[in-house]
């Protein structure tokens, strides 16, 4: 069960949920392949250090698992009353903002982000500091869902 589903208040329903984009896993896979898997396979061909090759191949999973944990540790949800954002697995940081207290929501997408479907969402509550959330999947849809609940006219 997601963080948002566990923390609903009476009469509240989840309308939209998103996570970090898969792009957050690219560097983890790159590090795993370049620094662990490739040398591990090469070492398998040398009989004297074959065990080291097996260890490197098994160690390949560590950065991949860390990347998956980071990706799954971030949740963003829009309900009919609030925006809920949770980051982290072991230590947790949350932002819960009533829809009536949202002053602005900005989306920044780099060129590659527009192509692949990710970007940064910046939420500013009334009287608060901007809260940026990087590499969010479908940031325009997230903004649209928030604006739809607030009652902004469609763009």
Give me 71's structure tokens: 């990706």
Structure token pair of residue 69: 């944990």
Query: Per residue in 46-64, is it b (16+ CB within 10 Å) or e — as a string?
Result: eeeeeeebeebbeebeebb
pLDDT at 59: 81
SS3 12: coil
Instruction: Please compute the mean of the pLDDT values over residues 35-45 and round it to a whole number.
Output: 73
User: Does residue 117 register a pLDDT over 90?
Assistant: yes
- pLDDT single digits (tens) 63-113: 888 889 988 999 999 999 999 999 988 888 988 889 988 888 999 999 999
pLDDT of residue 152: 67
Q: What are phi and psi of 130, to 5 degrees?
A: -65, 140
| pLDDT of res. 112 | 93
Residue 1 has pLDDT above 70, yes or no: yes
pTM: 0.80
Burial 5-25 (b: 16+ CB within 10 A, else e): eeebeeeeeeebbbbbbeebb
């Amino acid at each position: 069960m997601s963080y948002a589903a566990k923390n609903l208040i009476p009469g509240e329903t989840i309308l939209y949920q998103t996570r970090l984009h898969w792009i957050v896993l690219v560097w983890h896979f790159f590090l795993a392949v370049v620094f662990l898997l490739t040398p591990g396979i090469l070492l398998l061909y040398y009989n004297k250090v074959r065990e080291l090759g097996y260890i490197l191949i098994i160690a390949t999973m560590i950065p991949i698992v860390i990347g998956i944990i980071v990706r799954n540790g971030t949740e963003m949800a829009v309900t009919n009353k609030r925006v809920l954002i949770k980051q982290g697995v072991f230590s947790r940081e949350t932002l819960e903002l009533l829809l009536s207290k949202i002053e602005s929501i900005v989306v920044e997408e780099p060129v590659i982000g527009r192509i692949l479907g990710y970007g940064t969402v910046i939420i500013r509550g009334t009287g608060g500091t901007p809260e940026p959330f990087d590499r969010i999947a479908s940031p325009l849809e997230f903004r649209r869902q928030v604006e739809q609940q607030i009652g902004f006219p469609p763009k």
